[in-house]
A and B are shown apart, each in its own frame.
Chain A
Amino acid sequence: MSNTLTITLHVWRQKNAQDPGGFVEYSAKDISTEMSFLEMLDVVNENLIHKGEEPITFDHDCREGICGQCGLVINGRPHGPRERTTTCQLHMRSFRDGDDIVIEPFRAKAFPVIKDLMVDRSAFDRIISAGGFISVPTGCAPDGNAIPVPKENADLAMDAAACIGCAACVAACPNASAMLFMAAKISQLALLPQGQPERYTRVRDMLTQMDAEAFGTCTNHGECEAACPKSIKLENIARMNRDFIKASLTYRPDTGLGGGA
């Protein structure tokens, strides 16, 4: 049932990448518990514009938990208090009247702040660009049923493929590691017969790019899995590590290939 809340927000405001930034306090009144968290911020922003102040900049788009564009650290947790929930799917019924809410951007060296709560996550695109694909030009594919995939593998691949690239895993990790994001894609493709030809070059190329992007390394904290809105599992990192070891042992510097044996 609908109730209204009054809450105090402590929002990170930062004019641009050069600005040191800091917290600013806002009061949000008459907030319906039916509102989404972003709708609550909309209300705050409408009031700021009416007062002639600049609204809070934050990324969002689909508002149904699938595009991965939204992402705020809410009271210290990426995407806030509810498990398996993106910021846009978080609703105000998860909060109580009189609450203080601290809102920050996803923080990582690889994700510079653009403005306020908006960060630059283009490093993720560059990791995919380095190898997160199957090289199959349009038009040359065999019949869909010519490549049977055991249901169990298809299901596991789908579990991994559910990643929305929001970067909560990086924001949650004490090392700001991108391992869970990368492992999800590597696992998906390694579990499918279509992904086998490039399996080992893929893992090498993507890891090389990750290192170039100033992400940290994985030291098995497991914070990424806890923060993931799509339940991507740590076992994907184990699967990736096995592939990486095999790829490293069989790497042939003369051809850039390896691991096929």
Chain B
Amino acid sequence: MELNACIPDGPLEQKWEKHQFDLKLVNPNNKRNYRILIVGSGLAGGAAAASLAELGYDVACFCYQDSPRRAHSIAAQGGINAAKNYRNDSDSIFRLFYDTVKGGDFRAREANVYRLAQVSNNIIDQCVAQGVPFAREYGGLLDNRSFGGAQVSRTFYARGQTGQQLLLGAYQALERQIGLGQVKMYTRHEMQELILVDGVAKGIVTRDLVTGEIQSHVGDAVILATGGYGNVMYLATYAKGCNTSAIWRAYKKGAAFGNPCYTQIHPTCIPVTGDHQSKLTLMSESLRNDGRIWVPAKHGDQRAPDQIPENERDYYLERKYPSYGNLAPRDISSRAAKQVCDDGRGVGGTGLGVYLDFADATKRLGARKIEERYGNLFEMYERITGEDPYKVPMRIYPATHYTMGGLWVDYNLMSTIPGLFVMGEANFSDHGANRLGASALMQGLADGYFVIPYTLGGYLAGIKPSARPKVDHPSVKEAEESVKARVSRFLSIGGKETPTHFHRELGKILWEYCGMARNEAGLKKALQLIPELREEFWKNLRIPGSGAEVNQTLELAGRVADFMELGELMCLDALERRESCGGHFREEWQTPDGEAVRDDEHFCHVAAWEYTGDGKTPTRHVEPLSFENTHLAVRSYK
């Protein structure tokens, strides 16, 4: 396998513009002869489906939800970054680029990140024109707020529902194209397999989640925008349906998987209450603008928070990172929370929690201002916990929130399979080993609105539309039969346990051994436990009902089966990366005060894994990273 990132020559600032010019074009009248299959309708998929249809391509878009408006991008709360410098606080494209590379602990490609920062401003313009109701100043101009890992205010927001509003903007653009007949939308359809013809991506096999019908769809290119795989941990801030199946099927057909061990554990989520827990809910990072994080200074202090005097509290982020304080990046804040809880100073019934306190901000700004800024988040907290955060501090704890890893893509967002493109969280490209807040929305929309419309054309210009296979092509039939066989296999196991049972068990293994802190012994243990659990899964699974109707148990089983395999690859990648960087913290590589220690000499690279067959160890390939425009330094937020 060859990893050619296809990064254009020339100075950093000119690479994208030069590349856009160098890419071949598809004649406007020819565009309608190319059929593009897009899986996923979130920020990346929805934006791409709309934009490619506007260009004239024949687009089909698929989502498992009942409407494209429900993709989990909708749950992003805090905001979207852009280098507008509307605050006059010394922001610039270069600073956004620099902050993102540094935030990712120098494990992302400079060229990709710079392009992301460049198009960030176009995204804001596009969304405003669509009618996204961003927060405004009294003069009618756009407002901003601060987010973690940056010392400028560059985050645009729509109350605590920025993801929702951006997604609805993309959704409405998509619905417009559906109405015009330019996009054929397949809701309640889940991709089950990728179709390759002579090694080139030419289609997908889907299951209709209402009728159970297995269908093949052929096209000239396939785009996966299916989000991240954090649900591998079972408890995560993802929607329940989020899964790895699309990218995992592609991996098993030859697409390299980049940095699978890079997961983001978000510092501010509502803590677990019991075994019944089905998901975890995020409290936006924007709360850290005004909330102060603390735990009791003494071990086992059981007093109510308002009974603990100021001098007996430990505002540990402010103490350890005075220049960034409560706005330290996510990986660092999460680890700090784990450290104080491991130290026996956690709060709440389980001891796995820290306070996020708004008492000072309420005194300074008044309750009304706090409500205006965070009212919906406070209400959500109250709904879930039964506690009023206007009166008692929130209790929060880290939870799995995002995966920086994903399918390896080149500068054109194409995977190692020709014709297979991957966007948004599903690819590995822009965030290195840690993503900064408000950058996921930026990347999803950048890929969908402003990157793929150019780079896809460059690919299509090199192939004839008549090269598309017919649905009765042997490769298509073979893929379809393999999906039918897999469904039959699930239904015929006839064991005793539910897919949720196995999912929960898998999640426990990964959270314990491949979560916020990892070490060699633990990872080796996980690599022994996961195959055992997987064997049990395939022996003892029970799925009632049939495949020819709505069967949510069957859907879940398919997703869990893929998570079972992915979990093993994550542990393998974590074991092989013998350094600490960003969200990947290996206990063997830390400073005496618990900070991550990178090994740039041996690990300044992307690990891209190639599937070699079931039961065989995959091959680890390396894409070296070079830092010519940033200083490869120890990341400090002190």
**With A89-B380, A161-B165 given, is the CB distance from A136 to B130 under 8 Å?**
yes
Hey, which chain B residues are within 8 Å of A39, CB to CB? Answer: 276-278
**With A63-B240, A67-B70, A69-B66 given, is the CB distance from A42 to B276 under 8 Å?**
yes
How many residues in B have their beta carbons less than 8 Å from beta carbons of A?
Answer: 82
Pair A54/B545 contact, Cβ less than 8 Å:
yes
**With A133-B176, A136-B126 given, is the CB distance from A64 to B281 under 8 Å?**
yes
Pair A46/B69 contact, Cβ less than 8 Å:
no
Hey, which chain B residues are within 8 Å of A125, CB to CB? Answer: 67-69, 175, 178, 185, 187
* B:149-196 near A, CB below 8 Å: 158-159, 161, 164-165, 168, 171-173, 175-176, 178-179, 185, 187
A60 close to chain B: CB less than 8 A: yes
Pair B178/A158 contact, Cβ less than 8 Å:
no
**With A36-B278, A63-B240, A65-B380 given, is the CB distance from A144 to B67 under 8 Å?**
no
Pair B239/A61 contact, Cβ less than 8 Å:
yes
| Contact residue among A134, A157, A164 (Cβ-Cβ distance under 8 Å from B129) | A134
**Docked pose: A11 CA to B134 CA in angstroms:** 41
Hey, which chain B residues are within 8 Å of A121, CB to CB? Answer: 66-67
Pair A151/B142 contact, Cβ less than 8 Å:
no
Q: Mark A140-154, 1 if CB is under 8 A from B, else 0.
A: 111111011111001
Pair B128/A66 contact, Cβ less than 8 Å:
no
Hey, which chain B residues are within 8 Å of A151, CB to CB? Answer: 136-138, 140
- How distant is A257 from chain B, measured CB to nearest CB, in Å? 17
B279 close to chain A: CB less than 8 A: yes
Pair A141/B142 contact, Cβ less than 8 Å:
no
Pair A158/B133 contact, Cβ less than 8 Å:
yes
A124 close to chain B: CB less than 8 A: yes
Pair A158/B159 contact, Cβ less than 8 Å:
yes
| Contact residue among B69, B240, B383, B498 (Cβ-Cβ distance under 8 Å from A165) | B69
A68 close to chain B: CB less than 8 A: yes
**Docked pose: A184 CA to B563 CA in angstroms:** 39
Q: Mark A73-103, 1 if CB is under 8 A from B, else 0.
A: 0000000001011000111010000000000
Hey, which chain B residues are within 8 Å of A60, CB to CB? Answer: 240
Pair A133/B553 contact, Cβ less than 8 Å:
no
Pair A52/B140 contact, Cβ less than 8 Å:
no
Pair A134/B172 contact, Cβ less than 8 Å:
yes
Contact size class for A? Answer: 35 or more
Hey, which chain A residues are within 8 Å of B99, CB to CB? Answer: none
Q: Which of A120, A133, A140, A192 has the most CB of B within 10 A?
A: A133
Hey, which chain A residues are within 8 Å of B241, CB to CB? Answer: 61
**Docked pose: A133 CA to B140 CA in angstroms:** 22
Among residues of A, the one whose C-beta sits closest to the C-beta of B72 is A62
Pair A120/B142 contact, Cβ less than 8 Å:
no
Q: Main secondary structure on chain A at its contact with chain B?
A: loop
**Docked pose: A79 CA to B521 CA in angstroms:** 47
A35 close to chain B: CB less than 8 A: yes
- How distant is A79 from chain B, measured CB to nearest CB, in Å? 12
* B:425-470 near A, CB below 8 Å: 449-450, 453
Pair B133/A161 contact, Cβ less than 8 Å:
yes
Hey, which chain B residues are within 8 Å of A61, CB to CB? Answer: 65, 70, 72, 239-241
B613 close to chain A: CB less than 8 A: no
Hey, which chain B residues are within 8 Å of A155, CB to CB? Answer: 136
**Docked pose: A207 CA to B239 CA in angstroms:** 32
Pair B66/A52 contact, Cβ less than 8 Å:
no
Q: Mark A22-53, 1 if CB is under 8 A from B, else 0.
A: 00000000001011101100110010111011
Interface residues of B (CB under 8 A from A): 47, 50-51, 54, 65-70, 72, 74-75, 84, 86, 122, 124-131, 133-142, 158-159, 161, 164-165, 168, 171-173, 175-176, 178-179, 185, 187, 210, 237, 239-241, 273-274, 276-279, 281-282, 379-380, 383-384, 386, 449-450, 453, 496, 498, 500-501, 542-545, 549-550, 552-553
Interface residues of A (CB under 8 A from B): 2, 15-16, 32, 34-36, 38-39, 42-43, 46, 48-50, 52-55, 57, 59-69, 82, 84-85, 89-91, 93, 114-115, 118, 120-122, 124-125, 128-130, 132-145, 147-151, 154-155, 157-158, 161-162, 164-165, 188-189, 192, 194-195
- Report the 10 A-B pairs with minimum CB-CB distance, sorted nearest first: A148-B140, A141-B129, A133-B172, A129-B179, A141-B125, A158-B133, A154-B136, A129-B175, A34-B273, A138-B51
